[in-house]
Amino acid sequence: SRKTLSCSGVPDNTKQPPGQPIGTQRSKEEKKVLRKQLKASHTLLKHEGISTAAQPTKSLVVANGGLGNGVSREGLSAALKEMGEVESLVMPPHKPYAFVTYRSEESARNAHVHLNGQMLQCGENSVTLYFSYVESVTHEEETSVPLPEGLALVEDFVSPEEEAVLLSAIDWSSTNDDITAQKALKHRRVKHYGFEFRYDNNNVDKDKPLPAGLPDECLPVLERCVSNGHISMMPDQLTVNQYESGQGIPPHVDTHSAFEDTILSLSLGAKTVMDFRHPDGRVVAVVLPGRSLLLMKGESRYLWTHGITPRKFDMVPACDPPSPAGSRPDLGTQSGLTLSKRGTRTSFTFRKIRHEPCRCAFPSACDSQGAPSTPSLSLPPSPPTLPCCRADAARLEEEYVHRVYDAIASHFSSTRHSPWPRVCHFLTSLPPRSVLADVGCGNGKYLGVNPDVIVGCDRSSALIQICAERGFHTFVSDALSVPLRTASCDACISIAVVHHFSTQERRLAAVRELVRLLKPGGRALIYVWAFEQEYNKQKSKYLKENNKDRVTDGKLSVHTNRTAFNTQDLLVPWHLKEGKKRGDEESGDKLESGPAPVFHRYYHVFQQGELEQLCAQVNGVKVQSSYHDQGNWCVILQKDGL
C-alpha cells in the first residue's frame, strides 16, 4: 500500500519493497502508480513543455514536488537524499514540480522505483510525488536585481537582547487609545506614538501630539541610527504594527506632506517579504529578516510603493546567496528557493513629522505638489500583446492574472460575498452526498451552499488562505491540471475562470480538465464574462457609462470599467482599496497613504455562441443548456454515461 514520507524523508511505516524486475507481473497498486506517473509526464509536456526520457538518466522531474504545491526544499531534499547523493535540486518559483540530479544513475533509479507514488508530508501539507526521467535540467540563470534607489537594508541591526526589550515595551493589553491610539485593524493591530497617523485621511494631526512620546526603550536604537549616519534628525513619530501569520499590508507610499524624507522600519520577530513596486511596473521583493533595519529615502520613499502580501508562507533563498552591494536575489528567477513559514512579526516604523510642504523631485506622486488623491486610469507601463506561443501565454497569465489576484486577494474577497442565484440553483439541485469540485473557487463563496462533500481549488495561494480561514477544504492548483482522480466528481463548477486563459488552446484545455474530473453522467457549470453586456434589450448591472477603452498599437487595450466592450482580449483595471467595503461593517483599515495602486487583469470576453462552440470540441460531453446571466455566458455540460 502507499506509504507516507515525513519531512525527514523516512517512510512512516515499513520499508518499501525493492524495484520491480523487468518481465515480472506488476501489482494492481504498481499499475495505478504507473498510470499516474504517465499522466503527470503528459501534463508536464502539455502545459510546461517538459519532455521526459524513456531510459534512466541521473536527472528526474518530480511532479507535485514544487514550491507551488507548498513543498519546502528541506522536506523534499530529505526524502530525495534517502535514495543517494543529490548533486542538485532545482525548484522553480511558483511551479508544481522540481528537478533533482543525482550523483549516479543508480541513485536516480532508486528514487524512481521507491519514491514514485509516495506521499510527502510536510507540516499540514501532503502531496503525492511522481518521478520521470529527463535528459537534462535547464532553468533560468539566477540573477540579482538592484534595490530601489535610496533603499538600504541593514541586517542584525539590533541584538536579540535589544529585540526582547523593544517588544516588551509595547503593551498590547492596554485599552487606553488616548495614549497610543491603538487600533485593531482588519489585517493587523497597530499603535501610534508621538502623533497618530489617521487612516481616514492618510495624514497626521500635526497640532495634536499624543500624550505619550516615543518609548524610552527606542532611544538607544535611534541614537545609533544618528551616529551611523542613517538619519540626521531624531524621529518624533512611531507606528508599531503587529502581523500574525497570514496578515499583510496593502501597497502604499507614505504620505509626502506628512513625513520628512528618511523613513526607518525595524523588523522584529519573524522574517517576511516586502514587495516594492515602481510605477513603470518593476517589482523588487526584499526579504526582511528579524532584527533588520530598512531605510527608505529619496526615490524608494517617495515613488515606489511598498507592501506585504497576506500569506502564510514566503518564497525565500534557501541560503544567503552572495549579491552585489545594493542588490538582492531576484525571487522570480531563483531556483535555490524554499518556503519560509511566517510567524508573528512586529515592525517599528520611525518617521519625522513634516511642517512645510514637500518639495521632492517626484511631483507625480506628491500630494503637496498637486498629485491626485486617487489614481486616474492609466495604462500599464508596457501593455502586453496577445501571446503567440505557450510560453508567452503562461508569462502573460502569471503577470496579469496570478500575481494580480495574490496582490488584491483581500480587497477582491470583500467584494465577493453574494452567491449568484442561478449558480446556487445548480448546486442545490445536486443529490445528497454529491462530490463537487469548485475549480477556481476564489474566496470560497460557493463552497458552503449545499453539497455534503465539496472541495475547492484556486491558483491564488492568498485566496486559498482566505478559504482556509473560513473553514473550507481547499488547495492551490492550476485549473489546467487539477490533482484529483479522473471521474471522481459528481459535478464541477468553473465560475469566472476560463476567461482568464489567454489562448484558445488553453481555454479548451481548461474545459477538458473539468470534463475529466466528472463521473459518467456528471454535470459541469461554466460561467465566463460576456462581450454582450446588453442582451435581449436588457443591460447588465456592470454597464454604467459609454465605452472609453484605450487601445495602443498592437497591444492589449485597457478597458474602462463599467462600459461596453469593444474588443475581446483586454486588460481590466482593479483599483486597490482598503477600509470599509460594500457589505463589510468592520472598522476601516485604509491604505497608509498616497494614491491606491491600479492592477490590470487579463480577460478574454466571450461572444454569443463561443462558449458552446468551445465545449463542442470536447469529446464525450454534450451541452445540456446555455444561457446569459447578468453579463455572463453560461453552459451546463453533461458527461456521457457508461
Q: What CATH number did the domain enclosing 127 receive?
A: 3.30.70.330
Q: Identify whether residues 175 and 301 lie together within a single domain.
A: yes
Residue 120 lies in a domain: yes
Q: What is the pLDDT of residues 161-185, one digit of tens each?
A: 999 999 999 988 865 555 666 665 5
Q: Identify whether residues 503 and 477 lie together within a single domain.
A: yes
Residue 232 lies in a domain: yes
Q: Which pLDDT does position 72 carry in this prediction?
A: 86
Residue 299 lies in a domain: yes
Residue 20 lies in a domain: no
What's the average model confidence in pLDDT over 475-495?
93
Q: What is the pLDDT of residues 315-326, one digit of tens each?
A: 888 765 455 555
Cα 418 from Cα 445, distance rounded (Å): 7
Q: Identify whether residues 396 and 461 lie together within a single domain.
A: yes
Q: Identify whether residues 114 and 159 lie together within a single domain.
A: no
Quick one: CA torsion of 485, 491, 496, 502, rounded to 10 degrees? Answer: 40
What's the average model confidence in pLDDT over 343-369?
92
Asked if the model's pLDDT at residue 552 lies above 60, the reply is no
Cα 619 from Cα 130, distance rounded (Å): 27
**Strands (E) located in 440-517:** 453-458, 474-476, 489-495
How large a percentage of the chain has pLDDT more than 90? 47
Say how many domains are in the chain.
3
Burial category of 432 from C-beta neighbours within 10 Å (exposed 0-12, middle 13-18, buried 19 and up): exposed
Residue 494 lies in a domain: yes
Q: What CATH number did the domain enclosing 431 receive?
A: 3.40.50.150
Q: Identify whether residues 358 and 395 lie together within a single domain.
A: no
Which grid cell sits at 363?
Answer: 511631483
| Beta-strand pair 97-102/86-90 | antiparallel
Q: What is the pLDDT of residues 43-91, one digit of tens each?
A: 666 656 778 888 999 999 998 888 877 888 988 999 999 999 999 999 8
Burial category of 26 from C-beta neighbours within 10 Å (exposed 0-12, middle 13-18, buried 19 and up): exposed
Asked if the model's pLDDT at residue 540 lies above 70, the reply is no
CA atoms within 13 A on the CB side of 96: 25
C-alpha pair distances (Å), 630 with each of 212, 566, 612, 634: 54, 18, 18, 10
Cα 502 from Cα 401, distance rounded (Å): 10
Asked if the model's pLDDT at residue 461 lies above 90, the reply is no
Q: What is the chain's mean pLDDT, rounded?
A: 82
Q: What CATH number did the domain enclosing 263 receive?
A: 2.60.120.1520
Q: Identify whether residues 236 and 112 lie together within a single domain.
A: no
Residue 11 lies in a domain: no
| Nearest alpha carbon to residue 497 among 507, 483, 485, 486 | 507
Q: Identify whether residues 159 and 128 lie together within a single domain.
A: no
Place of cell 534517502: 82
**276/44: higher pLDDT:** 276
Residue 585 lies in a domain: no
Q: Identify whether residues 52 and 159 lie together within a single domain.
A: no
Of the residues 133, 162, 184, the one at which a domain ends: 133
What's the average model confidence in pLDDT over 126-142?
80
Q: Identify whether residues 46 and 161 lie together within a single domain.
A: no
Backbone phi and psi for residue 267, each to the nearest 5 degrees, phi listed first: -95, 125
pLDDT band of 140, cuts 50, 70, 90: low
Asked if the model's pLDDT at residue 580 lies above 60, the reply is no
Sheet holding 292-296, edge to edge: 151-154, 292-296, 263-269, 345-351, 237-243, 189-193, 183-184
Asked if the model's pLDDT at residue 344 lies above 90, the reply is yes
Q: Identify whether residues 343 and 233 lie together within a single domain.
A: yes
CA angle 498, 499, 504 (to 5 degrees): 80
The helix (H) or strand (E) run that includes residue 576 is none
Domain membership of residue 415 as a residue range: 390-533+607-639
Q: Identify whether residues 72 and 113 lie together within a single domain.
A: yes
Q: Which pLDDT does position 537 carry in this prediction?
A: 63
Q: Identify whether residues 296 and 416 lie together within a single domain.
A: no
| Residue 267 neighbours by CB under 8 Å, 6+ apart | 288, 289, 290, 291, 292, 293, 294, 345, 346, 347
Asked if residue 276 lies in contact with residue 284, where contact means CB atoms within 8 angstroms, the answer is yes
Cα 366 from Cα 439, distance rounded (Å): 43
Residue 579 lies in a domain: no
Cα 318 from Cα 425, distance rounded (Å): 48
Cα 243 from Cα 249, distance rounded (Å): 9
Place of cell 495561494: 461
Q: Which pLDDT does position 16 carry in this prediction?
A: 39
Q: What is the pLDDT of residues 465-474, one digit of tens each?
A: 888 888 888 8
DSSP 319-342: S-----TTEEE-TTT-SSEEEEE-
Asked if the model's pLDDT at residue 374 lies above 50, the reply is no
